[in-house]
Homo-oligomer: A and B are copies of this chain.
């Protein structure tokens, strides 16, 4: 694993090339190869001084390669000086070793999801949850997709982790407000980001799909849900409207691409829990990435520095 590699040591292993380019030297003819490599434990920058020009023709972004080289360090950052590079067929590789994934194990997430579903007593909502999360395609995709491109839980199982925690938060909060419908709130929380399974492609790294860019995960979620709801006989029209409203409004503001603001207690709480979990994730990450520091670097998505002590 990349994270086990120390300065001065040799490295040999299978890596995913996130992107690469040929960089011309600034004061002499010629160029070197710069590659961003990753496995599930992290990323490292690689440099290759001598290479067969043939590699320029064969190599593509997101290729999987076997690499040999030596790690070297400049002030805490490791670089990989690459000696040989060889393309590997996808079928010979376990992708989960190349992509980062949630620190929470699938088995634990499954257990927590099951508890949330089983406590749902409203018949149609229970049926919908079982149908979606048991769906051969959507259920699988939901358990694999990341929660975001970059900002929070941008790794495999991230969507699952995020959705379960938002649902749990919503469930706790609902206890303090007796007028709130727990089952609607929890169902909405579990499904609020469902459209993300169509918004990202995450086979090798996380990319937007064309549908994701053209429509976004709110519209994609509406499409998926309307289709699934149709299959449940006698799903009450009003309940359907409320659930679709929760998806529609979960970003909370027009400027954040929600075409409606929350008009139900349940929609409001989901919006808050969603935003809170995404922001707290960034605090946690900053603390993990800078265990020694008093202040984080500037965090553009939050427009501030964070105090880490």
Residue numbers in B under 8 Å from A254 (CB-CB)? 254-257
Interface residues of A (CB under 8 A from B): 21-32, 49, 56, 72, 74-75, 79, 81, 165, 168-169, 172-173, 176-177, 179-180, 210-211, 213-216, 218-219, 222-223, 226, 238, 241-242, 244-245, 248, 254-261, 263-265, 268-269, 272, 275-276, 279-280, 283-284, 287, 294-295, 302-307, 309
Q: Is the CB of B276 within 8 A of A272?
A: yes
Residue numbers in B under 8 Å from A283 (CB-CB)? 179, 265, 268
A74 contact from B24, B268, B269, B303, Cβ within 8 A: B24
Identical copies in the complex = 6
Q: Is the CB of B168 within 8 A of A263?
A: no
Closest chain-B Cβ to A189's Cβ sits at a distance in Å of: 13
- Cα–Cα, bound, A165→B176 (Å): 8
A259 contact from B226, B241, B258, B280, Cβ within 8 A: B258
- Cα–Cα, bound, A177→B302 (Å): 19
Q: Is the CB of B280 within 8 A of A269?
A: yes
- Cα–Cα, bound, A31→B79 (Å): 13
A177 contact from B29, B213, B242, B280, Cβ within 8 A: B280
Chain A to chain B contacts (Cβ below 8 Å), 6 pairs: A169-B176, A210-B241, A213-B305, A215-B244, A258-B259, A264-B307
- Cα–Cα, bound, A257→B216 (Å): 13
Q: Is the CB of A242 within 8 A of B263?
A: no
| CB closest residue in chain B, given A243 | B214
| CB closest residue in chain B, given A211 | B241
Closest chain-B Cβ to A200's Cβ sits at a distance in Å of: 15
Closest chain-B Cβ to A54's Cβ sits at a distance in Å of: 14
